[in-house]
Structure 1
Amino acid sequence: MKKAGFGNINGQKIYYELFQKSEEAEYLVFLHEGLGSVAQWKNLPEEFSELTSMNVLVYDRSGYGKSSPVPQNYPYDYVRYEAQTILPKLLEQLKIETCHLFGHSDGATIALLFAAYHPQKCLSVISEAAHVIIENMSVEGIRKIRAIYQDKIRKPLQKHHGDKTDWVFYHWSDTWIDPAFKSWNMNIELKQIKCPVLAIQGEDDEYGSPEQLKIIRDLSSAETHLIPSCGHIPHFQKPSEIKKLVMDFFKKTYESNASL
């Protein structure tokens, strides 16, 4: 059963969709990328609800998709704000006490941060193409996309973000290329993660090197996979492989918990 609605958090309306399997089922929450939205996941949340028999929640972050525009004082370090404030309050409103997280790009970064800040709520993390440090290749990749934004990217994004499109794009890109943000990292938070983590990245990811995976593995004891012939969006570029990795990860996680 699919349910859609809005959470009200700090004066903002946060749009969500919930694929409900049963009251007893665990929850899997999808966290979208820096230019993403609920709609841009396409059928993936519903597919994973069927594959895992979990209740699946997917939502538009602050200022994205069908969610309301952000207030003027929306934090610069938005990934930490979303992990510390918006996601836990949305889960509280929906009466979700614990959950698994599946995040892509910015969403994966937020998922890892949430696991560090709220260990009692996070059962596991599937991280795709997370950024845990700022790399020169990430900055250059964003600069390239900024150069073609007006001609090639703005119109397709407007289908998902409407009047908020320019804010979505420039808030995201301005943050990551800001020289003042260059020393940003997640080293402290990664060391605090207690739950199982599956970290995935494409070998040809244009926004991050395999160093991102190495840091996640070394600091959080994550299971990591570098996917050959794959770019920044493994769940669409290598869908069968990603689904198998995720299902194997869940199986190992449950077997490990059962042996305790």
Structure 2
Amino acid sequence: MSSSQLNAQPLHCRYHLSGKGIPWVFIHGLLGSGDDWQHVIAHLPAGHNWLCLDLPGHGGSRDVKVSQQAGFAETAALIAACLNQLNIHLCHLVGYSLGGRIAMYFASQYPQYINTLVLESAHPGLTHSAEQTARLSHDQAWATRFAQQPIDHVLTAWYQQGVFDDLTPKQKSALCQIRAHNHGPAIAHMLMATSLGRQANLTPNLQNAKYPIRYFVAENDAKFSAIAKLLTQQVPQLDLQPFPEAGHNIHWAKPLEYAQILEQRVGLQR
């Protein structure tokens, strides 16, 4: 698989843009990088265009910082700058977890770039100020640990959270090894800049969207299955795609099935 890398600002990314069709643009979750999507890309039909971004504080964008007050807006502007630099004017935007929340925000601010929005295990936003305050406090506690403690110790605790209950001890250990390259203070900064507690409720933006929306959720992910069910009631044009025998990180657990569904349900919309 041939690819190129863009190391200069605004964000580090890997891409293949000499193929056919509307590009797939992939946004990873917290602690990840654009490399997380390579197993999915490997199963897409040969010759497709794709772009994998490293978010601020992650991977090759480790030294890129956004402000605590405008983290979503500044991250979206950096993504738009990447697309412009690579002459991408329309894309299938795919985002997982934090990447899904950023994708939702980006689509709300830059809808002209969106052919299809694909959200994986992504929260549209909290609706009550008490929930937002509680989430900020929760994220601040984790950010303090990431900033001050050895990354391997924090990762071990991170993957004990309920949202990762579907993972076996062996899988959790593997993820800890994969994520151990992260720089704790950079992760802490991005965690607080894009906390769910700072995110606006983006459900109204989804309701008013003029592009198709796909929501990928794992049947074993109880929290996000409930969120997905509510979204299908609130957003008529949202198409729900459940994945059996998978947990929160679907593309990591089932890259082949993920790629097949992307191609079948999204890729035909060119």
Q: Same fold judged by TM-score > 0.5?
A: yes
Once residues 234 and 166 of structure 1 are traced to their aligned partners in structure 2, the CA distance between those partners, rounded to angstroms, is: 27
* 2:50 aligned partner, one-letter code: V
Once residues 5 and 122 of structure 2 are traced to their aligned partners in structure 1, the CA distance between those partners, rounded to angstroms, is: 27
In the alignment of these two chains, the number of paired residues is: 237
Aligned to 2:155: 153
Aligned to 1:167: 186
Report the TM-score when normalising by structure 1: 0.75
* 2:75 aligned partner, one-letter code: E
Aligned to 1:2: 3
2:68 to 68, 75, 89: 75
Once residues 124 and 35 of structure 1 are traced to their aligned partners in structure 2, the CA distance between those partners, rounded to angstroms, is: 25
Deviation string for 1:151-192 (max 9, x for gaps)?
Answer: 25177366443xx33331464268647xxx288421232223
Aligned to 1:249: 265
Once residues 255 and 153 of structure 2 are traced to their aligned partners in structure 1, the CA distance between those partners, rounded to angstroms, is: 29
1:55 to 49, 54, 59: 49
Q: Secondary structure at the match of 2:7?
A: strand
Worse-superposed segment, 202-211 or 188-197: 202-211
Aligned to 2:204: 188
Aligned to 2:60: 66
Deviation string for 1:20-78 (max 9, x for gaps)?
Answer: 343x532111100022112333432343362xx4211002111211114234x623453
User: Does the 8 A contact of 1:207 with 1:232 survive in 2?
Assistant: no
Q: How many angstroms does 1:210 deviate by? A: 2.0
Once residues 178 and 185 of structure 2 are traced to their aligned partners in structure 1, the CA distance between those partners, rounded to angstroms, is: 9
Aligned to 1:15: 12
Q: How many angstroms does 1:88 deviate by? A: 0.7
Q: Secondary structure at the match of 1:43?
A: helix
Aligned to 1:231: 247
Q: Secondary structure at the match of 2:67?
A: coil
Q: How many angstroms does 1:104 deviate by? A: 0.8
Q: Secondary structure at the match of 1:63?
A: coil
Aligned to 1:122: 114
Report the TM-score when normalising by structure 2: 0.73
Q: How many angstroms does 1:194 deviate by? A: 1.2
Give the share of equivalent positions with the same residue, in percent: 21
User: What RMSD over aligned residues (CA atoms) do the two structures have, in Å?
Assistant: 3.4
User: Does the 8 A contact of 2:30 with 2:98 survive in 1?
Assistant: yes
1:39 to 35, 39, 51: 35
User: Does the 8 A contact of 1:46 with 1:56 survive in 2?
Assistant: no
Aligned to 1:29: 25
- Flag the 1:94–1:237 CA change in 2: closer, same or farther, 3 A: same
Once residues 124 and 17 of structure 1 are traced to their aligned partners in structure 2, the CA distance between those partners, rounded to angstroms, is: 20
User: Does the 8 A contact of 1:203 with 1:229 survive in 2?
Assistant: yes
* 2:72 aligned partner, one-letter code: V
- Flag the 1:235–1:217 CA change in 2: closer, same or farther, 3 A: farther
User: Does the 8 A contact of 2:24 with 2:93 survive in 1?
Assistant: yes
Unaligned segments of structure 2, at least 5 residues:
157-175
Q: Secondary structure at the match of 1:241?
A: helix
Q: How many angstroms does 1:252 deviate by? A: 5.6
Q: How many angstroms does 1:15 deviate by? A: 1.1
Aligned to 2:79: 87
User: Does the 8 A contact of 2:13 with 2:54 survive in 1?
Assistant: yes
